[in-house]
Structure 1
Amino acid sequence: MIEMYLLEQLLAFSQCGTLSAASEKLHVSQPALSHSMQKLEELMGVPLFERTKNRIALNENGKLTADCAAKILEQEREMIERVRLLDQSRRTITLGACAPVPVADLVPILSRVYSGMTIASEIRNSDEELLAGLEKNQYQILVLHEKPEGEELYFEAYREEHLMLQLPENHPLSAKEQLYLQEIDGQNLLLYTKIGFWYELCRQKLPNAHFLMMNEFDAFGEVAGAGAFPSFVTEAAAGGELPEGRKAIPILDEEANVTYYCVCAKKDKKRFEPLYQELRRFEKHSDR
């Protein structure tokens, strides 16, 4: 049986190109590394290196072995990560969400319904990232902004969120009662960066806008409430209240008006049924 450290050392040699560089990277002596490579050759039963007086290099056998070693080591890392995440999931419920509002919705419910568990949450910019995390046990519950596909998934729609442009009442666009994003493209806009998929949507749909990026929420709120730049808000995030002298104009684009779907693995449906019962108190949609 080939020990993993031998594959790690072979891969390091393949990447570094010389024994001296590989030994420095691995923090082992050059003679010890040379001995390991000889041992690996003996275990493989074929030569892996071309040796000259002053040089050692991988031959075709060695190159193929190094490629296979990289895959084996990656599989080992993935196995360890998945097992650790599975163990962690027994003690921690991690919510992966595509936007901040679902986090504000679900974390208090999860904390109340699953009082003996640690509740953690992360916001990601794409549904694809979140679904990949669910598959790897990185998350146990997701909130997506597009209806997911897959026989192994269970989901229910539980609420909507609608994007609006918040701006001073004396702004040239304030006379509008509704807007499309293309009418805003080219404007100077204030944008909070930690808003999940909303951030990607704004950047993609407004390629000519001039954004003032902010990543501190409190500072963003102060500037958005009193500054001259328009910014984005939703009815859910605003809670029906706007700073004095500001107006919020609905955005009509289909992508700016979303339905959120609470998703879990179908095998975990029974475990999270209490959560879904709580979420059904939100505006009703078609369930699955």
Structure 2
Amino acid sequence: MIETYLLQQLIAFSKNGTLSAASENLHISQPALSQSMKKLEDILGVPIFERTKNKLTLNDTGRLTVELTEKLLTQQEEMIEKIRLFDKTKHTLCLGACAPIPVSDIVPLLPRFYSGFTVSYELKNSNEALWEGLEHGLYQIIIVHEETGKYLKCPDEFFSFPYRQENLSLWVPHEHPLSALSELELKDLAYQNILLYTHIGFWYEMCKEKLPDAHFLYMNEFDAFQQISGTSAFPSFTTDASAEQRQEAGKKVIPITDNEVHVTYHFVCRREDSDRFLPLIKQLRSDFSA
């Protein structure tokens, strides 16, 4: 059995080229590293170094050993990560979502149906990152705004259903020139100053992509954004999916007609977990419709 530290030291020697440089990076003495390399050679039962009076270099067998060692250590790291993630799923539920609304819908429901589990969530700006997280066990549930990616390629591997819609509108002061409109298009927002909260998942990327000529005033703190947007002369975005759909005096909600701002959220989990999440799925289907 080869101890891992011997393999790690071999890789360090290969990368640094000399015993002195490798021992310095490993924070061990050069004689200790030399002894480790001799021990590894003895375990393998074949010479992997060429030795001269003042130099130690890898021979062809040694270079193959390094190549195989790198693969082995990578596999070992992947194994440890998979084991830790598997253990985490036994007592933790992690939701990955593309927007804040699904988080506010689902996170409060999880403790009701899965008491004893630690609940966490992550907001991502792209569906691709969510699919990757689900595939690697980082998330047990993801919410995406397009039924794409892995689901279309492997429909037997994943369970998915559309659970709700969200439609973006613009919230403007009555004295703002745009308030004269009953509805608008994204192109109408060119060169406008718009308050934008940054932690909004894919909506953030959509705004930057579809409104390249808008002047965004970015805000990172939600409470400050809520306060300032309520009194500011600048427009901001709001949504029909929020319980706080705004109709305050002095402000007007104007629907946006572009297809990009009308999205359907899809609940996705591994098909093998669909029975486990059936109580949650039933609740979402009862509370919302797509």
Cα distance, 1:112–1:14 mapped onto 2, change above 3 Å? same
Q: Please state if 1:30 is matched with 2:30.
A: yes
**Counterpart code for 2:109:** I
User: Of residues 195, 207, 226 in structure 2, which corresponds to 1:202?
Assistant: 207
Moved more, 11-20 or 192-201: 11-20
Segment drifting more, 178-187 vs 153-162: 178-187
Select which of 257, 261, 279 maps to 2:266: 261
Report which stretch shifted further, 122-131 or 33-42.
Answer: 33-42
Superposition deviation, residue 52 in structure 1: 5.4
Q: Which residue of 2 aligns with 1:13?
A: 13
Secondary structure class of the residue paired with 1:236: coil
Q: 2:257 aligns with which of 252, 258, 261?
A: 252
Q: Is residue 94–residue 119 contact of structure 2 (8 Å, CA) maintained in 1?
A: yes
Mapped pair 1:223 → 2:189: no
Confirm or deny that 1:174 pairs with 2:179. Answer: yes
Letter of the 1:244 counterpart: A
Matched ranges for 1:177-188 at <5 A: 177-188=182-193
TM-score for both structures, normalised by structure 1 = 0.88
Q: Aligned partners of 1:262, 1:67: CA distance in 2, in Å? A: 42
Task: Say whether residues 1:81 and 2:81 are aligned partners.
Answer: yes
Matches within 5 A, 1:267-286: 267-285=272-290
Gaps of 5+ in 1: none
Q: How does 1:17-96 map to 2 (within 5 A)?
A: 17-44=17-44, 48-49=48-49, 54-58=54-58, 61-96=61-96
Which segment is superposed worse, 242-251 or 211-220? 242-251
Residue 65 of structure 1: CA displacement?
3.8
| Partner Cα distance (2:175, 2:227) in 1 | 18
> How far off its partner does 1:46 sit?
5.5
Separation in structure 2 between the aligned mates of residue 46 and residue 164 of structure 1, nearest angstrom: 71
Question: TM-score, normalising length from structure 2?
Answer: 0.87
Amino acid aligned to 1:169: H
Matched residue, 1:100: 100
The answer to whether the 8 A contact 2:170-2:237 is kept is yes
Q: CA deviation at 1:24?
A: 3.0
Structure 2 vs 1, CA of residues 54 and 246 (structure 1 numbering), >3 Å: closer, same or farther?
farther
- AA aligned to 1:126 is S
> What CA distance in whole angstroms lies between the structure 1 residues aligned with 2:181 and 2:50?
75
Report how many aligned residue pairs link the two structures. Answer: 285
Return the alpha-carbon distance in structure 2 between the equivalents of residues 186 and 53 of structure 1. Answer: 73
**1:32-88 alpha-carbon deviations (Å, 9 max, x no partner):** 122223333444556545655555455555455434433322221221111111112
CA deviation vs aligned residue, 1:15-36 (integer Å, no higher than 9, x gap): 4444333323322222212222
Cα shift readout 1:231-276 (whole Å, capped 9, x = no counterpart): 2221223632244322222222222111111111100111111001
Q: Quick check: 1:159–1:282 contact (8 Å CA) kept in 2?
A: no
SS at match of 2:188: helix
Change (3 A) 1:226 1:52: farther
- Between 218-227 and 231-240, the greater mean CA deviation after superposition: 231-240
Cα distance in 2 for residues equivalent to 1:105 and 1:280 = 12
Provide the identity percentage: 55
Answer yes or no: is the 8 Å Cα contact 1:158–1:282 preserved in 2.
Answer: no
Distance 1:224-1:6 versus aligned 2 partners, 3 A rule = same
Equivalent runs, 1:139-150 vs 2, <5 Å? 139-148=139-148, 149=151, 150=154
State the one-letter code of the partner of 1:183.
D
**Structure 1 Cα separation of the partners of residues 213 and 207 of structure 2:** 11
Gaps of 5+ in 2: none
1:172 counterpart letter in structure 2? P
Deviations 1:99-131 (A, max 9, x none): 111111011111112223222212111222112
Query: 1:205 corresponds to which letter in structure 2?
Result: K
Of 137-146 and 59-68, deviating more is 59-68
CA distance in 1 between partners of 2:161 and 2:80 (Å): 32
Equivalent position amino acid for 2:111 in 1: S
